[in-house]
Structure 1
Amino acid sequence: MPNRRNVYFFHPKNQETKALVSPLIELAKQYDFQVVDHFDSANIIVSIGGDGAFLQAVRQSGFRDDCLYAGVTTSDQLSFYCDFHIDETDKMIEAITTENIEVRRFPVLQTQIDQGTSFYCLNECSIRSGVIKTLSLDVFINENHFETFRGDGMIISTPTGSTAYNKSVSGAVVDPLIPCMQVSELASLNNNNYRTLGSSFILSAEHTLTLKLSNDNNHSPIIGIDNEALNARQVDQVQIRLSDRQIKTVKLKDNSFWQRVKRTFL
């Protein structure tokens, strides 16, 4: 990593985690990396914990596409966003001393609520009813009405997020090399009165998905962005597209996306 020398370690500020991170800080300094106190000054951001910590590191640092993210897990098994285990210092040394390091790029969703602020998602955006009743959504692909959905909600996932919430509702696992987003239903109503596609579908990066809440909703849905929920009191529509941003991570030879899928599910 000849041009990336400023490292920020993202981790919980408790004594137990600080004790785990301390050897990593010394290792970084040993190989002439500068450990910085804020992620704004870093061009390498290392999360300590698991996939949840990695998602928070990306979110809190603003989904930067000008730096390299790396995940270090403290559990017994590697996860989808964590290439390293806290005890595998040999792999970390190999990664930081390799001149021609390979970089993995993950697609990111851009979500806009009404005409307000845009939010980014590395895993998925989900929309669900805020009360115990079905949610009614008019689904548009670009400017064209596709269907009227009635049910518990919808999940829109990235390829890397396809193995998370999306997979639990029988969505497809998608190769991250395909720039796309997947739309999956949550308990849709399909009968003589209501009809939806009834299966997940995939949209390319050229398309924009718009979900318009029908007038009979209370317009206060629960909107999830990765592992956080947005506090939105009234929502008329949610627009989702694939962002131009990409999250860059270290790519190890023995830890491809499909090796992770096999290790996790098979």
Structure 2
Amino acid sequence: MDERKNLYFFYPKNDQLEKQLQPLFDLAQNNNFNIVTEAENANIIISVGGDGTFLQAVRKTGFRQDCLYVGIKYEEEAGLYCDFDLDSFDSMVDVMLNQDLEVRRFPVIDVAINGDEARFHCLNELSIRSSIIKSFVLDVFIDDTHFEKFRGDGLVVATPTGSTGYNKSTNGAVVDPKIPCFQVTELASLNNNMYRTLGSSFILSGERKLRLEVIQDGNDYPVIGMDNEAYSIRNIKTLDITLSDKIVKTVKLKNNSFWDRVKRTFLT
């Protein structure tokens, strides 16, 4: 672990939390870790505050491919991305010092808007929703072949790890993150004698390309959500979504698999 000695802490700055984290800062420094003030100088980026903060840490630091991300949660916070809590300082440092450190790799999706070469990245999900009280109409293409014309409130496109979030709350399936894929789930689709959608979520191989074309019928300013951030982008015409070459690497604790955390979060 000598090459992973620079730590950057991502957390909402306040005096109370600083006081809670001081023992961790001291413990890290006593074990020859360096605490850096700039994320680009870090080998390990540590978020403190739960899954929402973890998503922000990954996004704000640019989906770094050359470092590990570690999540620390408050006791009352959800922790599907967070293996540690504020009372487990010793175990976290012990894991990071372990030469046989196991790394968990989370898939990411790429999103191109209006054919732009620039790509947005999502660790959890992309959502596109109507911004007005009117059915949202999208043409859905899979590998350039028209699949359906969607009418409803919108769609959620989730990664496997993101399948436990917004996707699950809209009756999407929970997907094992070892499967390279992404999932499309409907938001209040309109199905009757005139209009028809699949009516269920569907899962696409990581080799597939999903294209969403916005029908310009007055609903031209949809709300775009990427992980836990909303984007105001005018005149959206197309979204091209693929599984990214990027991954997010996190520390993997023993006996704490994705399914262990799903069980702990939803069933116990």
Give the TM-score range, shorter chain: over 0.9
Q: Does structure 2 retain, via aligned residues, the 8 Å contact 1:49–1:75?
A: no
Alignment of 1:5-20 (within 5 A): 5-20=5-20
Alignment of 1:134-149 (within 5 A): 134-149=135-150
Q: Does structure 1 retain, via aligned residues, the 8 Å contact 2:136–2:219?
A: no
Alpha-carbon distance in 2 for matches of 1:78, 1:231: 27
What is aligned with 1:63? 63
Name the SS of the counterpart of 2:139 in structure 1: strand
What is aligned with 2:158? 157
What is aligned with 1:47? 47
Q: Does structure 1 retain, via aligned residues, the 8 Å contact 2:72–2:86?
A: yes
TM-score (norm 2): 0.97
Q: Does structure 1 retain, via aligned residues, the 8 Å contact 2:50–2:77?
A: no
Alpha-carbon distance in 2 for matches of 1:22, 1:142: 51
What is aligned with 1:97? 97
Alpha-carbon distance in 2 for matches of 1:23, 1:248: 25
Name the SS of the counterpart of 2:72 in structure 1: strand
Give, in angstroms, the shift of residue 137 of structure 1.
0.1
What is aligned with 1:263? 264
Give, in angstroms, the shift of residue 167 of structure 1.
0.4
Deviations 1:165-213 (A, max 9, x none): 0001110000000010000000101111111111110001101100001
What is aligned with 1:131? 132
Deviations 1:214-239 (A, max 9, x none): 13243110000000001112100111
**1:143–1:74 CA distance, 2 compared to 1 (3 A):** same
Alpha-carbon distance in 2 for matches of 1:164, 1:135: 22
Name the SS of the counterpart of 1:215 in structure 2: coil
Q: Does structure 2 retain, via aligned residues, the 8 Å contact 1:134–1:152?
A: yes
Deviations 1:238-257 (A, max 9, x none): 11111000000000012110
Deviations 1:50-91 (A, max 9, x none): 101100000000011111000001224661011001111231
Deviations 1:121-179 (A, max 9, x none): 11000000111111000000111000000000000000000000000111000000001
Q: Does structure 2 retain, via aligned residues, the 8 Å contact 1:6–1:34?
A: yes
Give, in angstroms, the shift of residue 101 of structure 1.
0.3
What is aligned with 1:237? 238
Q: Does structure 2 retain, via aligned residues, the 8 Å contact 1:78–1:85?
A: no
Q: Output the amino acid matched with 1:34.
A: N
Alpha-carbon distance in 1 for matches of 2:20, 2:190: 49
What is aligned with 2:214? 213
Matched, 1:193 2:194: yes
Q: Does structure 2 retain, via aligned residues, the 8 Å contact 1:135–1:217?
A: no
What is aligned with 1:23? 23
Percent of matched pairs sharing the same residue:
57
Give, in angstroms, the shift of residue 24 of structure 1.
1.3
Alpha-carbon distance in 1 for matches of 2:146, 2:218: 19
RMSD: 1.1
Name the SS of the counterpart of 1:17 in structure 2: helix
What is aligned with 2:80? 80
Segments of structure 2 that go 5 or more residues without pairing to the other structure are: none
Range that drifts further, 79-88 or 109-118: 109-118
Give, in angstroms, the shift of residue 93 of structure 1.
2.6
Name the SS of the counterpart of 1:18 in structure 2: helix
What is aligned with 1:179? 180
Alpha-carbon distance in 1 for matches of 2:74, 2:219: 42
TM-score (norm 1): 0.97
Alpha-carbon distance in 1 for matches of 2:201, 2:2: 43
Name the SS of the counterpart of 2:253 in structure 1: coil
